[in-house]
Chains A and B, each alone.
Chain A
Amino acid sequence: MPAKALPSALEAAASILRGDERALARLITGLEDGDPAAAGTLRALRGGSAAVGQLTAQVVGVTGPPGSGKSTLVDKLISAYRAKGLRVGVLAVDPSSPFSGGAILGDRIRMQRAEAGPGGGLDPGVFIRSLASRGRLGGLSRATAQSARALEAAGYGVVIVETVGIGQSEIDIARLADTVVLVSMPGSGDDIQVIKAGVMEIGDVFVVNKADREGSDRVVREIRAMLETGATLRQDLALRQGGAAELQPVLKTVAETGEGLPELVLALDARWAKLNASGELASRRARGAAAEARSLLAERALAELALLEPGLEEGLAMEIVRGEREVAEAAEILFSAIRK
């Protein structure tokens, strides 16, 4: 990565800061493709943005099972933040097909009510981008966190990232978002399945959407019970002493009508204020960035591995199978080969 920004990077960054959507969209494409020039542009953009005193964006992750109403909810959140005068950037991630590498990205279709500004024209304060996960099994695309930073630097005061809650994506979303909204819904019999154990941990705000349907109160009770159990298990001292720590909010919404949305926005505002006041925002982001750098490092190492003398990896694998070598030794050999 260039230490000094290239003129083209500075130019692209300046266009983005002037509000050029196409330049911003191009940058995100470059980040997705792993184009080294895009990294330079992002650097220049964030530098330029800091120079003009751009604010820190609130990055909200919205995740949950397929069809739980995430996009519809995001649509309503966009309108709510626009009403507060904030520009809103959205990244909507869908999985790539493991067979063809292609994808159908269908979240935008549900976010088009917010896109239309007052008076029928289009609202220039909303930027929506669909991303495919591109081979990161169930996870977020490599570019998602970087794209969120690009939107922040471009002056979007709220950045919302929608992901389907499957596989690796939950861990990824907790890394890149300041606040994770876990969406679930009533129905489908076995409601506990709606939120898998372990996934509960990443939720900062819980939403039971489709509250117009029967059974939503039960889901709320179940989530609260799980949160209480979790808190007790962790021997959350503050909580047991009746102190400051509170259970995460569990809210009911009807995304279709907007019912419960004001309460959700209030909960997000409260969380954002707390993150800023406590200094937790900086430490949380630093943890996320470190994890992100580590996964890029892993990717990089695997790419190096692919460049090694052909057959080395396969040869070692056969030796393990034949009982001539242990896996730890094989890993050690590959590691030395990469370092050369």
Chain B
Amino acid sequence: MDRKIRVLVAKPGLDGHDRGAKVVARAMRDAGMEVIYTGLRQTPEQIVQAAVQEDVDVLAMSILSGAHNHLFPRVMELLADKGASDVLVVGGGVIPEDDIPFLESKGIAAVFGPGTPTSATIEFIKANVKRR
């Protein structure tokens, strides 16, 4: 069998640009992953629908707008509704240290700050993805 790690890279909320997300997406491709890139201004509903239909192992979301404490938990809730809580969810963007414990308590597996090298994100995914 020929199993690949499938990742959805999504940008929830009203952010203005997605340069960072694109860099991460390319690095993931270069690490052999299949990356579904869905662009800017996704609603949590859209993100979860895409995660389910695309049957991804990993959902990587980046938020620059400051709405993470609302949007991330909402996505986790919707994933649970769809029985898709086994998806590994990671976050990135501009997220204050103080908010990380709260997000982790909601099921976000890891939060990567702006300076994080893409290789660290990729290593984390490879080590933590729940193979089926």
Which of A's residues lie within 8 Å of B, judged by CB? 21-22, 25-26, 28-29, 32-35, 96-97, 99-106, 108-109, 112, 115-116, 121-122, 127-130, 132, 134
Contact = CB atoms under 8 A, between A and B. Distances in A.
> In the complex, which range does the number of interface residues on chain B fall in?
20 to 34
A110 to B, nearest CB: 9
Contacts of A97: 29-30
Given A108-B38, A128-B53, 5 more contacts: A100-B29, A103-B35, A105-B36, A108-B37, A132-B34
A332 to B, nearest CB: 30
A109 B11 CA distance: 11
A109 to B, nearest CB: 4
B70 interface: no
A122 B30 contact: no
Nearest to B35: A104
A28 B33 CA distance: 17
B114 interface: no
For the residues of A in contact with B, the DSSP-based class is: mixed
Contact of A112 (B26, B32, B38, B82): B38
Nearest to A22: B52
A116 B50 CA distance: 12
B31 A100 contact: yes
B30 A102 contact: yes
Closest CB pairs A-B (n = 6): A102-B29, A25-B55, A109-B39, A102-B32, A29-B55, A33-B1
Q: Which of A97, A102, A108, A109 has the most CB of B within 10 A?
A: A102
